[in-house]
């Protein structure tokens, strides 16, 4: 039996309201680093593509236009450096959050089934399991699973680069997870939405590994799904441009269900998405903006006496206090300076806070000054 709306957990950011109010009371106003929502303009070529396709009287294709599917395949070949998935194994989604939340249901999971997700994770992995009536289990290693769990597991979520920690999983680590899951008939879903934003080596040079890489899967996509989004890389979160791809035997039924549900990306957005995937110049420019902001914020955070862990890629700094104070204490301390961040408790961990890089240059500079002040 699935989850009723009355069973939903509190929306995490509602719990931040008192600290947000405190930050807003700062004489110079609030600097909000709690949510990773892009603030820079959507690139003009994407906006122009949307305008060009605005005359769209017919229903769009649930599985994506041939042009869009070709653009996604070329992205994997030229940008991610892996063999493109078959064009029939690609399915556009209306942003990535909706597919994370509905995937267990679309795969037919139900009561008694288990969904394994990272121990520090985006909360929607667990929510999606509960919506299907399944049981979410946080674990990073097989030996950390409760007794009997592996035998009931139907879905294993991977997330690299991680939200919130920014940790990147190596080829060897991904291969180990895929091998373990395949031996037990467990589907692997890899959320790779932050792969375009690596900061440290070897990832900055070699790129973030994908579960679609044959070094990971042995050239076989059986039981494997990968998710990706253009929200962050292209400053287009409002367009809801994302996709899922992988094993055609999994994608086919998901496609069919979504056809019946009418869950199709709008036609003009499909055209804009194909255009965005055909241009890496705007991605490079945005990456450099985030690189500069990251350098400023990281330096200020460390000079203020905090420690940054992981944070090898993605849009967040994973920050803790040297004295071991908990996450909400750090949130309160920073709110007193007018700086709002997200507590690690939102993600299953209570000693770190997540500091988003999605703020204007002016806000980042102002935060650095406040962190430096006594």
User: Mean per-residue pLDDT for 240-266?
Assistant: 96
Domain with CATH 3.90.1150.10 in the chain: 5-41+282-372
User: How far apart, in Å, are the Cα atoms of 112 and each of 100, 134, 144, 151, 153?
Assistant: 19, 6, 19, 11, 9
Percent of the chain with pLDDT over 90: 91
Question: pLDDT at position 2, please?
Answer: 57
Res. 332: pLDDT tops 60: yes
User: Helix, strand, coil proportions of the chain in percent (round to 5)?
Assistant: 45, 15, 40
In whole angstroms, what is the distance from residue 102 CA to residue 118 CA? 18
Q: Per-residue pLDDT for 5 more than 70?
A: no
Options 3.40.50.720, 3.40.470.10, 3.90.1150.10, 3.30.930.10; CATH of 5-41+282-372:
3.90.1150.10
Pair 225, 253: CB distance under 8 Å: no
Q: Return the pLDDT at 191.
A: 98
Q: Which residue has the tokens 């709690």?
A: 34
Q: pLDDT band for 4, please (50, 70, 90 cuts).
A: low
> What is the predicted pLDDT for the residue at 142?
87
The CATH 3.40.640.10 domain(s) of the chain lie at 57-278
- For all residues of the chain together, what is the average pLDDT? 95
Contact 150, 142 (CB under 8 A): yes
Question: Does the pLDDT at position 132 exceed 60?
Answer: yes
* Residue 11 pLDDT exceeds 80: no
- The pLDDT assigned to 242 comes to 98
What pLDDT does 8 receive? 58
- So what's the pLDDT on residue 359? 95
Q: Which residue has the higher pLDDT, 2 or 94?
A: 94
pLDDT, average across residues 106-118: 97
Percent of the chain with pLDDT over 70: 96
pLDDT band at 148 (very low <50, low <70, confident <90, very high): confident
What are the E-state strand segments in the chain?
31-32, 90-94, 114-117, 135-138, 153-159, 187-191, 224-229, 241-246, 306-309, 316-321, 339-340, 342-343, 352-356
Q: What is the tens place of the pLDDT at every residue in 173-215?
A: 999 999 999 999 999 999 999 999 999 999 999 999 999 999 9
Coil/strand/helix, residue 53: coil
What is the CATH class of 57-278? alpha beta
| Averaged pLDDT for residues 255-265 | 96
CA 280 from centroid of its chain's CA atoms: 20
262-305 per-position pLDDT tens digit: 999 999 999 999 999 999 999 999 999 999 999 999 999 999 99
CA distance 156 to 153: 8
pLDDT digits (tens, 9 = 90+) for 354-371: 999 999 999 999 999 999
Q: What is residue 87's predicted lDDT score, i.e. its pLDDT?
A: 83
pLDDT tens digits for 50-90?
999 999 999 999 999 999 999 999 999 999 999 888 888 99
Considering only CA atoms, which of 237, 216, 210, 226 is closest in space to residue 90?
226
Reading phi first (left if > 0) and then psi (alpha if -120 to 50, else beta), residue 324 is in left
Please give the Cα distance from 157 to 190 (Å, whole number): 6
């Amino acid at each position: 039996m699935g989850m009723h709306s009355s069973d939903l957990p509190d929306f995490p950011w509602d719990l931040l309201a008192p600290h947000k109010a405190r930050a807003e009371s700062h004489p110079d106003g609030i600097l909000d680093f709690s949510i990773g929502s892009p603030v820079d303009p959507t690139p003009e070529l994407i906006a122009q593509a949307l305008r060009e396709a605005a005359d769209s009287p017919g229903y769009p294709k649930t599985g994506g236009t041939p042009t869009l599917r070709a653009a996604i395949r070329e992205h994997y070949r030229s940008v991610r450096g892996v063999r493109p998935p078959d064009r029939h194994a690609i399915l556009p989604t209306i942003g990535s959050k909706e597919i994370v939340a509905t995937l267990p249901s679309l795969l037919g999971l139900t009561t008694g089934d288990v969904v394994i997700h990272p121990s520090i994770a985006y909360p929607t992995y667990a929510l999606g399991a509960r919506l299907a009536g399944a049981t979410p289990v946080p674990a990073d290693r097989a030996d950390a699973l409760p007794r009997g769990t592996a035998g009931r597991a139907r879905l294993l979520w991977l997330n690299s680069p991680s939200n919130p920690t920014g940790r990147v999983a190596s080829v060897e680590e991904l291969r180990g997870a895929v091998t373990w899951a395949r031996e037990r008939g467990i589907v692997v879903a890899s959320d790779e939405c932050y792969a375009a934003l690596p900061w440290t080596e070897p990832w900055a040079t070699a790129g973030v590994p994908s579960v679609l890489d044959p070094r990971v899967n042995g050239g076989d996509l059986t039981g494997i799904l990968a998710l990706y989004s253009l929200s962050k890389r292209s400053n287009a979160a409002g367009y809801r441009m994302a996709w899922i791809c992988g094993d055609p035997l999994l994608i086919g039924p998901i496609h069919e269900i979504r056809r019946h549900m009418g869950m199709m990306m709008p036609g003009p957005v499909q055209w804009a998405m194909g255009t965005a995937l055909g241009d890496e110049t705007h991605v490079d420019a945005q990456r450099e903006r985030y690189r500069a902001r990251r350098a400023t914020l990281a330096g200020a955070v460390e000079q203020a006496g905090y420690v940054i862990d992981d944070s090898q890629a993605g849009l967040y700094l994973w920050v803790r206090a040297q004295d071991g104070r908990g996450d909400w204490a750090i949130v309160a301390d920073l709110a007193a300076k007018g700086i709002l961040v997200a507590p690690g408790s939102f993600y299953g961990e209570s000693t770190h806070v997540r500091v988003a890089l999605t703020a204007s240059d002016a806000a980042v500079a102002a935060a650095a000054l406040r962190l430096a002040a006594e």
